[in-house]
Amino acid sequence: MIKIVIIILLGQFSLNGICRDKIVIGSKNFTESFILAQMLALLIEDSTNLKVEKKLGLGGTKVAFDALKNGAIDVYPDYSGTGYSMILKKKEILSPVDTYQIVKKEFTEKWGINWSKSLGFNNTYALAVRKNDARFEKIKKISQLSNKVEKLKYAAPHEFMERQDGHRGFSQSYSLNFASNNITAMQSGLMYSAIEDANVDLIIVYSTDGRIKNFNLKLLEDDKSFFPPYQVSYLVGKKVYDDIPALRKIISKLEGVISEKEMINMNYQVDFYKKSPRQVAYEFLKKKQLIDLDFKFANNTDGLFAYLKSKKQYLVKILKEHLILSFGTLFFSFIISILVGILLTRYKYLAKITFPFINTIQTIPSLALLGFLIPIFGIGTIPAIVALFLYSLLPLIRNTYVGIQSIDKDLIEAARGVGLTNFQILKLVEIPLALPVIFAGLRTASVIVIGTATLAALIGAGGLGDPIFRGVATVDSKLILLGAIPAALLAIISDKVFALIESRCVSDGIKN
């Protein structure tokens, strides 16, 4: 009975209960992963009555994999080489078949996670250079660069820099002696602009990325076979896989049907023609006669205003999510921070402990803090709110503390002299006099929270960061503006609203 009550309260019928009527599909934050997630979503919508919830653009392998382990998502696309080297920490290079068999077996045994059969193509890492760069005219293989790259500028995705099959092992294997100041970790979508503008000379890409053609790049042969095979599959929580035969049947429709050429073309459609991943996935399924649904998609070549209008429903959705994240957090942090700030003025020895703590929190990079919280709270709204709450503490607590501490002591003594109690002094003297400073902290905190809340999209919490990161990943300026403009306006409006509230709450005498 207790278990049933908990499930109902959490609203998670789909995980343990009672009736599973929803599938949560995740993806990582790059074009191909978006397309494959949308492809599965479309097939589920077409052939079942299951509701589909999408948590797309999760910030890397660890976030997506932890989300699957914790039940925050039910399925997402990933690569055998990633599972083999990054998650299982294997080093030996094996054949594609052996690599797949190992990840399938060990993922099932360790975490109860099932790997579908390969969707049909291999997408490995590759080293790319500009075709028109004369320095690489006679270079065909990576080994030809050994001990010749010290003056060359090199960029790779952040995750690649940390992977076991990533930068360190790659550069050692090929004796690529890059100068440390010529190595840059960069979001994958930005690397292409960087190499096009000659800001870097070599970049690490995915071999099926459509932008290789678009940016006139050539791939150098991995002649030492450093990179393991990366056959793509859908990872599914075993209980979900067992409980929903329809999902197994749907995934089987996609097994072995996508060629490398077809995947490159789909990526190209998104990255060059700026079609949405959902539209490209739909057109592929229609061509393969795997779907019956009929959809119409907005033309992304229209002007910005027309584009924003076509995204009205989506914009309303992410704006609501952002408002809940931002102002829900501000409400609770404001109440708690006021109480803590007042407490610190009464017990000043606590301030010596509290301020170093909240100062330290403020110095932790946002993504790092979110990463710390994922193992505790999973992905989604809760860890995002916790992170935003922690970031809002410093301006709110410090301003409350400073506002009260800076009140003239003679005024406090005068209040005591007329017989006011400590609570009356706090209510009638200290809080009113400290309000301008407290509101200054609230206005600062609101801007911090609204801006930082965009990062919540990387852990599946949605909000205005969702189109920003999708736009960066697919080099789509309209998508970026779809999130960036409302976020900037929201920060400006919130500051003005709190300024108006302050003008109503602070007495004219204190203003003067």
26: phi then psi, degrees, rounded to nearest 5: -110, 170
Say yes or no to pLDDT of 12 above 50.
no
Percent of the chain with pLDDT over 90: 61
74: phi then psi, degrees, rounded to nearest 5: -105, -25
pLDDT in tens, 322-366: 999 999 999 999 999 999 999 999 998 999 999 999 999 988 888
Pairing relation of β-strands 232-237 and 202-206?
A: unpaired
Say yes or no to pLDDT of 221 above 90.
yes
For residues 421 and 416, what is the distance between their CA atoms, to the nearest angstrom? 7
The DSSP result for 429-466, as a single string, is: IIHHHHHHHHHHHHHHHHHHHHHHGGGGGGGT--STHH
Max Cα-Cα span within the chain: 91
Average pLDDT value over all residues in the chain: 88
Residue 190 sits at the vertex; the CA angle it makes with 186 and 196, to the nearest 5 degrees, is: 115
Higher pLDDT, 313 or 11: 313
Cβ density class 204-241: b for 16+ within 10 Å, e for less: bbbbbbbbbebbebbebebeeebbbbbbbbbbbbeebb
Say yes or no to pLDDT of 222 above 90.
yes
Would you give the DSSP letter of residue 83? Answer: I
What per-residue confidence (pLDDT) applies to 134? 92
Q: Which helix (H) or strand (E) holds 183?
A: strand 183-185
Q: Tokens standing for 381?
A: 């709204």
Would you give the DSSP letter of residue 117? Answer: P
What per-residue confidence (pLDDT) applies to 8? 37
Closest CA relative to residue 497, chosen from 458, 455, 450: 450
Say yes or no to pLDDT of 99 above 50.
yes
The SS3 of residue 13 is helix
What per-residue confidence (pLDDT) applies to 293? 78
pLDDT level of residue 20 (50, 70, 90 thresholds): low
pLDDT in tens, 422-475: 999 999 999 999 999 999 999 999 999 999 999 999 888 889 999 998 888 777
Cβ density class 427-458: b for 16+ within 10 Å, e for less: eebbbbbbbebbbbbbbbbbbbbbbbbbbbbb
CA atoms lying within 13 Å on the CB side of residue 442 = 27
The single residue listed with the structure tokens 């100062």 is 359
For residues 457 and 383, what is the distance between their CA atoms, to the nearest angstrom? 11
Say yes or no to pLDDT of 110 above 90.
yes
Which domains are delineated in the chain?
20-121+232-297 (3.40.190.10), 125-220 (3.40.190.120), 312-511 (1.10.3720.10)
pLDDT in tens, 120-179: 998 888 999 999 999 999 999 999 999 889 999 999 988 888 776 788 889 999 999 999
For residues 233 and 251, what is the distance between their CA atoms, to the nearest angstrom? 9
Say yes or no to pLDDT of 1 above 80.
no
**Range of weakest confidence among 295-299, 327-331, 459-463, 491-495:** 295-299
- Calculate mean pLDDT across residues 464-487: 88
What per-residue confidence (pLDDT) applies to 300? 57
CB 148 within 8 A of CB 136: no
389: phi then psi, degrees, rounded to nearest 5: -60, -45
Say yes or no to pLDDT of 311 above 60.
yes
